[in-house]
Chain A
Amino acid sequence: MNDLGTPGEMTSPGDEALLADIGRFMDELDPPPGDLVQRVQFALALENLDVEVARWERMNATAGVRGSDTGTITFTVSDLTVMINLTKIGKKHRIDGWLVPAGEYGVEVRVAEHGTSSTTADEGGRFVLDNVPQGTTQIVIHLGDVTCRRTVVTPTVVL
């Protein structure tokens, strides 16, 4: 504020100069991914937005299932854990899932530009979805009964 620095001083750049650098780096080195806005918009394109958001848990933050042929993802929200095992078969995925605690809940997998596949978990909480296309994917789980409906959604992930 009081010290605007002396531009051109190499060893000790002023505040304004440093902020200008940081701004440039934010744009050039660390911009949001180009398709992020679109993916958020897809994640929000739900009929009912009264949802709880589950968080992806990654074993290793840098080595998710993205880009690999198989992998397990876990996501959690308050009292529910969902494990998803992915197997790539040709250009499609087979998704084996497991809900804990178990329940016969409705499960939907939305893939951008490919619509929705849905199924119901068995009483052990297991479900299988075959032939899920690749792409920006979101998982939606319908919990509860008529008296208390809850919907849990995940952020989208490119699978």
Chain B
Amino acid sequence: MTDVQTTEVDPPWEGLTGADLHAACMRAARAGDRQAMDRLVHELTPLVWHVARANGLDRLTAEDVVQTVWLALFSQLEKLRDPKALAAWLITTARREAQHPFGRRAQPVPLTDELAESMESTHPAPEEEAVRADRDRRVWRAFLRLPHRCQQLLRLTVLAGRAEYQLVAEALRMPRGSVGPTRGRCLESMRDLLAHEGGSR
């Protein structure tokens, strides 16, 4: 694991993780380094994806939104001075794109039971896991019935808990300090939804 440092070859972000990695890549990208841009895209596309999906977009439209967000970022990178603001910028832009009034004239497909079922069917569960799969389906369905705001907050909460997404945790702390209670209410709604359709299966 102790690689010899070959500074001429290794990019400056080599060996960095999390917020340090993103900051180093942003600096390099601002100087025109394409590799740094590719690295950021690689690291943070899942974040943008989950924000788009949480806002009720079908998968194809979510793909477009992810690309639009990245193109928008790199076409005006010099405006985003503080690397710490990157996650917040990506989240806000993805949400705004997802709700864009024109260009999204086809209303996003509502995340219905149908979608939950079709997702399930792409991952058929073996017989012995039927019980668990059934419970999973109920939990996922309850999640998809939450308001988009809740779905987004909960997806981001999950990402923020992962080491590579420290910056999401920082972004979540920013808006109005009401994240904790809101998250609690979202989870409570999810339990309600689960309780209502629970038991029947």
> Which residues of A are interface residues toward B (Cβ below 8 A)?
1, 3, 11-13, 15, 18-19, 21-23, 25-26, 28-33, 36-37, 39-41, 43-45, 49-62, 64, 66, 75-76, 153, 155-157
Contact = CB atoms under 8 A, between A and B. Distances in A.
Nearest to A151: B75
27 contacts: A12-B191, A12-B194, A13-B139, A15-B187, A19-B157, A19-B158, A19-B187, A21-B140, A22-B158, A26-B50, A28-B123, A30-B119, A36-B49, A41-B38, A44-B41, A44-B70, A51-B71, A51-B75, A53-B72, A53-B75, A56-B103, A57-B102, A58-B61, A59-B106, A61-B61, A66-B60, A155-B71
A26 B155 contact: yes
A3 B184 contact: yes
Contact of A64 (B60, B75, B183): B60
B68 interface: yes
Contact of A19 (B60, B100, B106, B154): B154
B68 A53 contact: yes
Nearest to A60: B106
B66 A61 contact: no
Given A23-B158, A37-B41, A44-B74, A55 B100 contact: yes
Top 5 nearest A-B pairs (CB, nearest first) are A55-B103, A155-B67, A61-B106, A32-B49, A23-B158
A40 B66 contact: yes
B75 A49 contact: yes
B46 interface: yes
A62 B60 contact: yes
Contacts of A56: 64, 103
Dominant secondary structure at the B interface: helix
Nearest to B67: A155
A55 B99 CA distance: 12
Contacts of A75: 103
Nearest to A32: B49
B16 to A, nearest CB: 19
A21 B37 CA distance: 32
A13 B109 CA distance: 29
A62 B102 contact: no
Nearest to A30: B53
